[in-house]
Amino acid sequence: MKQKLIVFLQLLPIVLSMLILSAHYLRYANMVEVAICLMLPFLLFIKSKIVVRILQLALVVAAFVWVDTVLNLINIREHIGHAWTRMAIILGGVILFTLSSGFVFYTKTLRERYGLVKGF
């Protein structure tokens, strides 16, 4: 039971990253992207190296989506004369959280669970 809780807590950042991105897409009514973001965490039930790589790639793509979003919002806010620094700092934190979520697979517990070689 303790081991399952540890695995759940270690995988939680990935799930949260995908939920936050799905909320972003939901705001713009992009339902296909919402569905993809909501389904990706279910891959975590499959204990495979390819699942790890798919999710890590998805998290990198998600970070690029956030970078694009923050750049567009900065441009819009500058154009209408509103402050954008606080928004950029907050979304910068979201970008860092999303990118760092992919590193959870380098913990000993998850390396063993997904059959990853140490350091890879």
pLDDT digits (tens, 9 = 90+) for 18-27: 999 999 999 9
Mean pLDDT across 63-73: 97
Q: Residue 120 falls within a domain, yes or no?
A: no
Domain for residue 30, yes or no? Answer: yes
Kindly state the tokens that stand for 9: 């807590």
Domain span at residue 36 reads 2-114
pTM: 0.91
Cα–Cα distance measured from residue 114 to residue 96, given in angstroms and rounded to the nearest whole number? 24
pLDDT value of residue 119? 57
Choice between 51 and 118, residue whose per-residue pLDDT is larger:
51
Q: Is 119 within a domain? A: no
